[in-house]
Amino acid sequence: MIFQIENAKEKDIPQIIALIREFAEFENLSDYCEVTEESLFDAIFGTNPCLEGLTALNDDESIGYALFYENFASFRGQRGLYLEDLYIKPEYRGHKIGEAFLKELAQIARERNFKRIDFLVLDWNEPAIGFYKKLGAEMDADERHFRFRQSI
> Per residue in 83-103, pLDDT tens?
999 999 999 999 999 999 999
151 pLDDT band (50/70/90 cuts)? low
Do 80 and 113 contact (CB within 8 A), yes or no? no
Q: Is the pLDDT of residue 82 over 60?
A: yes
Residue 36 lies in a domain: yes
Residue 25 lies in a domain: yes
Please indicate, yes or no, whether the overall pTM of this predicted structure exceeds 0.75.
yes
Residue 102 lies in a domain: yes
What pLDDT sits at residue 139?
84
CA distances from 67 to 31, 76, 116, 136 (A): 20, 24, 16, 20
CATH number at residue 106: 3.40.630.30
Residue 151 lies in a domain: no
Give the domain extent around 63: 4-134
Q: What is the pLDDT of residues 26-52, one digit of tens each?
A: 999 999 999 999 999 999 999 999 999
150 pLDDT band (50/70/90 cuts)? low
* Structural domains counted in the chain: 1
Nearest residue to 113 via CA among 146, 75, 144, 72: 72
* Catalytically annotated residues: 132
Residue 143 lies in a domain: no
Residue 141 lies in a domain: no
Residue 147 lies in a domain: no
Residue 150 lies in a domain: no
